[in-house]
Amino acid sequence: MERGAGKLPPRPMIRAFFVEFVFPLLLFLFLRSVVRNLIQGYRGRVQPQPQPFARQAPKVPAGGELKKDPVCGTYVSTAASVTRTVGGQVMYFCSEECRDKYKVA
Ligand SMILES: [Zn+2]
């Protein structure tokens, strides 16, 4: 009968090992992953701006400003026109033909 009692001691030790070491470790890892997910989710929400080319092309959206083609006199939308910077000033043309003509003139 005392043999069985002699085999018992290891169990409480294992339990203590789990309670005092493994469980806190798992809790720590779990909380760390939760915090990381929260931070990543927060970042993903803060910077959802996939517009790296928006700064490069400061054009007015379709139906924006109307500019007069200096070659043929047609009014063209700044969003749909052919642009060319002449002397630091942006010129708007209805087509590449007009743009090239202005270049010559
Ligand atoms: Zn034109």
Q: What is the pLDDT of residues 68-82, one digit of tens each?
A: 999 999 999 998 899
CA of 79 to the centre of ligand 1 (A): 15
CA of 7 to the centre of ligand 1 (A): 98
Secondary-structure percent of the chain, ordered helix, strand, coil, rounded to 5: 50, 15, 35
CA of 68 to the centre of ligand 1 (A): 9
CA of 82 to the centre of ligand 1 (A): 9
Question: How far is Cα 61 from Cα 59, in angstroms, rounded to an integer?
Answer: 6
CA of 87 to the centre of ligand 1 (A): 19
Q: Where are the alpha helices (DSSP H) in 1-105?
A: 2-7, 10-17, 23-46, 96-104
What's residue 2's pLDDT? 55
What's residue 5's pLDDT? 53
Domain ranges of the chain: 2-46, 66-104
